[in-house]
C-alpha cells in the first residue's frame, strides 16, 4: 500500500504536501518525517469540543398554539428529535421581548421572553428538559443594539440621569446653508445612512443596522454593568453559554467626524458594501469588553465546575478572528459559507486548511455551513451537494455547527417582494431585495407531509413553506427504505463520537478539482472520507487498487454501494454530490515516503 499513498500525495501536488507539514493545530504532536498532524489524545476535552451544535430559529421550528409562529413549547415538544439526530447542543436564536421589527434581534427587554414565544417559566422548562436529555443549551445574545422601544433608549432620549449616554449621539454637521446633516458618511448594514434624527433630543443616533435598532455605547461604564448583569441573569437560569451576535459592530470610532473610504465595489452608494468599514467594524475597543464578559461566564464555571461556552459571530479573516481566541472565547469560522456558486475540491480543501494552518497553538477549530443570515446550503452550492457538505462538516477535526433543516437538505422558498418581511430585504428595495432578503432561509421546519408540514395547526404560517416540503421532511426521510439526507446526517453524527473523528489524525489523501478526501486515524480505527464536489463523474481512485474497506456511510443515490459492503477503491465511481465514508482494514497501515 506504500505505492497507493505515494500516488495520492503526488496527485495532491507540492502545495498539499506543504500544507500537511505546516499545519499548526490545537495541542498537536507533529512528526515531520511521517507528515502527520496529531491532536493529543490524552487531553481532557470539554463538552463543546466534542459536541455537534444545532441552531434553532424559534419562529420557524415548531408552533404549539396554532398562531403560525414557532414557540418555546413547540421546541420542548420536539426535544427527542435532537437526541435521535445525534446532536449535542441547541443554540437558540433570540426569544427576548421584542417588537419583532427584526424578528427578535431588536430587543426591548433583555430579561424577559416575548409572549409570542412563551414565558420565563417556559424558558426555564426548556433548559431543564434539555438537560434531562443530556444535551447542552446556549442562548443567542445581542449586545450591540436594542430596540427603540427599550426603556434605556426612551430615557436616553430624555437625557435621564445615567441613561443619557447609553447610546451614540451626535449633533451632526451644520452646512453653510443652515441644514443639519449626519456627522459622517457611515452606512447601515441594512442600507442607507447609519444615522437617524431624533426630534425630542435634537440629535442624531447611530444604528449599525435598522433605524429601530439603536447601537449601545460601550464607553459608558453604567451600560457595561447592565450588560454583565444580563449575562448573570440568564446564567442563573442555567444556560450553558452564549453565542454573541454581530460582534464586529460592537464599537465604532469615537471620532464621528471621520468619513469611511470608498470600497471600490460596484454597488449603489446606499449599500453597505459601498464603503470600507475601517471605523465601524472590528475596532480594538471590543476585545476588553469581550474579556469582561468571559470573566463573568468563567466565574460561574468556577463556582460549580461546569464549563460554559462563549462563541462569537464575526465575519473576518483569521488574523482578526484569532484575536477572539486571545481572550478565551471562540470565533465562528465562516470560511465555508461564501465560496462562490461552484467551488472546486481544491477550493474547499484550501478553506479547511486555512483554518488548521492559522489556528493559534492550543486552540480548537470549528466549522459552520449556514445560519439564519445566509442563503440555505442548497441554494448557495446546489441541492445535490448538501449531503457531501454534511459529510465534510461532520468528519472534519473541529466543532461543527448545523442550521436547522440542513440535515434534511431543505430548499429555499420563493418569496415575492409583496410577501417579504425581512428588514434587510425591504431596505434593498424591490429591484435588489432578493440579493439581501433572509426570508427564504427562515421558512418553517418540515416535520411531515401533513398539514403545514407538521409545523403548525394554523391556517397560515409567518413565512410560507419551502419547496418540496411534502417529500422533503423528517417523517418521510426517516421512514424511507432508502438512504436519505436525514439518515445520512444521523449516521455521521453517531459516527462522530468515535475517537478517530474527535482527536484522530487529519491527513489529506486525494484532492483534485472534483475530489476532497482525507484520512481520520484514531488509536483503534481509521477512516477514509471521499467526496465529489465537482461537476462531473469521477473514478479518480481507479489507479490505486485497494485497500479493501468497509462502507460505513454513503450519500443517497449512490448505486452499487451500500452500508456494510466491502469495497475496493478502484471500483469507486462517484457522481457529482456523492460521497462515502470507509472504515479501513486493521492491517492496512498507510505510509508516506
- Is-contact 1 9, C-beta < 8 A? no
Q: CB of 448 within 8 A of CB of 55?
A: no
Closest CA to 388 of 241, 508, 535, 255: 535
Distances in whole angstroms, Cα of residue 216 to Cα of each of 146, 170, 220, 507: 7, 13, 9, 45
Q: Any catalytic annotation for residue 160?
A: no
What residues have CB less than 8 Å from 16, skipping those under 6 apart? 9, 349, 508, 511
> Do 436 and 424 form a contact (C-beta atoms < 8 A)?
yes
CA 367, 391, 340 angle in degrees (round to 5)? Answer: 60
Q: What are phi and psi of 92, to 5 degrees?
A: -105, 120
Question: Which segments within 219-338 are labelled E, that is strand?
Answer: 241-244, 309-312, 330-331
**Cβ-based neighbours of 184, under 8 Å, separated by 6 or more:** 195, 256, 257, 258, 259, 260
CA 249, CA 77: separation in Å to the nearest integer? 36
**Catalytic choice (106, 210, 245, 373):** 245
Yes or no: say if 80 and 86 are a contact pair by the CB < 8 Å rule: no
Annotated catalytic residue within 67, 125, 298, 313: 313
**How many angstroms from the chain centroid is the CA of residue 131?**
22
Using DSSP, state whether 38 is helix, strand or coil: strand
Would you list the DSSP string of 136-165?
EEEEEE--SEEETTSHHHHHHHTT-GGGGG
Cβ(542)–Cβ(7) below 8 Å: no
Evaluate whether 563 touches 532 at the Cβ level (below 8 Å): no
- Sorted by sequence, the CB contacts under 8 Å of residue 3 that are 6+ apart come out as none
**What is d(CA 270, CA 185) in angstroms, rounded to the nearest whole number?**
10
Question: Is position 313 annotated as part of the catalytic site?
Answer: yes
What is the distance between the alpha carbons of residues 589 and 36, in angstroms, rounded to a whole number?
A: 13
Distance CA 574, CA 47 (A): 35
Taking the C-alpha atoms of residue 522 and residue 441, their distance in angstroms, rounded to an integer, is 37
Angle (CA) 547-553-557 rounded to 5° is 105
Per the document, the length of the chain is 593
In whole angstroms, give the CA distance from residue 90 to residue 67. Answer: 24
CB atoms within 10 A of CB 418: 6
Q: Active-site residues: which are they?
A: 245, 313
Amino acid at each position: 500500500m506504500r505505492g497507493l499513498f505515494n500516488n495520492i500525495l503526488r496527485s495532491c501536488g507540492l502545495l498539499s504536501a506543504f500544507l500537511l507539514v505546516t499545519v499548526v493545530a490545537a495541542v498537536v504532536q507533529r512528526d515531520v518525517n511521517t507528515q502527520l498532524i496529531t491532536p493529543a489524545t490524552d487531553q481532557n476535552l470539554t463538552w463543546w469540543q466534542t459536541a455537534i451544535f444545532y441552531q434553532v430559529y424559534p419562529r420557524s421550528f415548531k408552533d404549539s398554539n396554532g398562531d403560525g409562529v414557532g414557540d418555546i413549547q413547540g421546541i420542548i415538544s420536539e426535544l427527542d428529535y435532537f437526541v435521535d439526530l445525534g446532536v449535542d447542543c441547541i443554540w437558540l436564536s433570540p426569544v427576548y421581548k421584542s417588537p419583532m421589527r427584526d424578528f427578535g434581534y431588536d430587543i426591548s427587554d433583555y430579561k424577559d421572553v416575548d409572549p409570542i414565544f412563551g414565558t420565563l417559566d417556559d424558558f426555564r422548562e426548556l433548559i431543564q428538559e434539555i438537560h434531562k436529555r443530556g444535551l447542552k443549551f446556549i442562548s443567542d445574545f445581542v449586545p450591540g443594539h436594542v430596540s427603540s422601544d427599550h426603556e434605556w433608549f426612551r430615557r436616553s432620549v430624555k437625557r435621564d440621569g445615567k441613561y443619557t449616554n447609553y447610546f451614540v449621539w451626535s449633533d451632526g454637521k451644520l452646512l453653510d446653508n443652515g441644514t443639519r446633516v449626519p456627522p459622517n458618511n457611515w452606512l447601515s448594514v441594512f442600507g442607507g445612512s447609519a444615522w437617524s434624527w431624533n426630534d425630542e433630543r435634537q440629535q442624531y443616533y447611530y444604528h449599525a443596522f435598522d433605524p429601530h435598532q439603536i447601537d449601545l455605547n460601550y464607553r459608558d461604564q453604567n451600560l457595561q454593568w447592565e450588560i454583565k448583569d444580563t449575562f448573570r441573569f440568564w446564567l442563573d437560569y442555567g444556560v450553558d453559554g452564549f453565542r454573541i451576535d454581530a460582534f464586529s459592530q460592537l464599537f465604532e470610532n469615537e471620532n464621528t467626524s471621520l468619513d469611511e473610504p470608498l470600497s471600490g465595489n460596484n454597488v449603489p452608494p446606499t449599500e453597505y458594501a459601498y464603503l470600507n468599514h475601517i471605523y465601524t467594524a472590528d475596532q480594538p475597543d471590543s476585545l476588553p469588553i469581550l474579556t469582561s464578559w468571559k470573566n463573568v461566564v468563567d466565574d460561574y464555571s468556577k463556582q460549580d465546575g461546569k464549563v460554559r461556552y462563549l462563541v462569537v459571530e464575526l465575519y473576518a479573516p483569521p488574523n482578526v478572528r484569532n484575536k477572539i481566541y486571545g481572550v478565551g472565547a471562540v470565533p465562528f469560522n465562516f470560511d465555508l459559507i461564501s465560496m462562490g456558486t461552484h467551488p472546486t475540491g481544491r477550493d474547499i480543501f484550501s478553506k479547511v486548511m486555512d483554518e488548521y494552518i492559522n489556528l493559534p497553538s492550543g486552540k480548537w477549530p470549528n466549522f459552520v455551513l449556514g445560519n439564519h443570515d445566509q442563503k440555505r446550503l442548497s441554494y448557495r452550492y446546489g441541492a445535490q451537494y448538501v449531503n457531501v457538505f454534511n459529510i465534510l462538516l461532520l468528519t472534519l477535526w473541529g466543532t461543527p455547527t448545523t442550521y436547522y433543516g440542513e440535515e434534511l437538505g431543505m430548499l429555499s422558498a420563493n418569496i415575492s417582494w409583496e410577501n417579504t418581511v425581512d428588514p434587510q430585504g425591504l431596505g434593498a428595495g424591490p429591484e435588489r431585495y432578493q440579493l439581501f432578503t433572509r426570508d427564504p432561509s427562515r421558512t418553517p421546519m418540515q416535520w411531515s407531509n401533513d398539514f403545514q408540514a407538521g409545523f403548525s395547526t394554523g391556517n397560515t404560517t409567518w413565512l410560507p413553506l419551502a419547496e418540496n416540503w411534502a417529500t422533503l421532511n423528517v417523517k418521510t426521510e426517516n421512514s424511507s427504505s432508502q438512504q436519505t439526507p436525514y439518515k445520512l446526517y444521523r449516521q455521521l453524527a453517531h459516527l462522530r463520537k468515535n475517537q478517530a473523528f474527535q482527536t484522530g489524525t487529519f491527513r489529506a489523501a486525494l484532492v483534485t478539482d472534483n475530489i476532497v478526501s482525507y484520512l481520520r486515524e484514531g488509536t483503534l480505527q481509521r477512516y477514509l472520507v471521499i467526496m465529489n464536489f465537482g461537476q462531473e463523474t469521477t473514478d479518480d481512485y481507479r489507479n490505486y487498487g485497494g485497500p479493501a474497506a468497509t462502507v460505513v456511510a454513503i450519500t443517497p443515490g449512490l448505486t452499487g454501494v451500500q452500508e456494510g459492503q466491502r469495497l475496493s477503491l478502484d471500483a469507486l465511481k462517484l457522481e457529482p454530490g456523492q460521497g462515502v465514508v470507509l472504515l479501513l482494514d486493521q492491517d492496512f497501515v498507510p505510509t508516506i515516503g
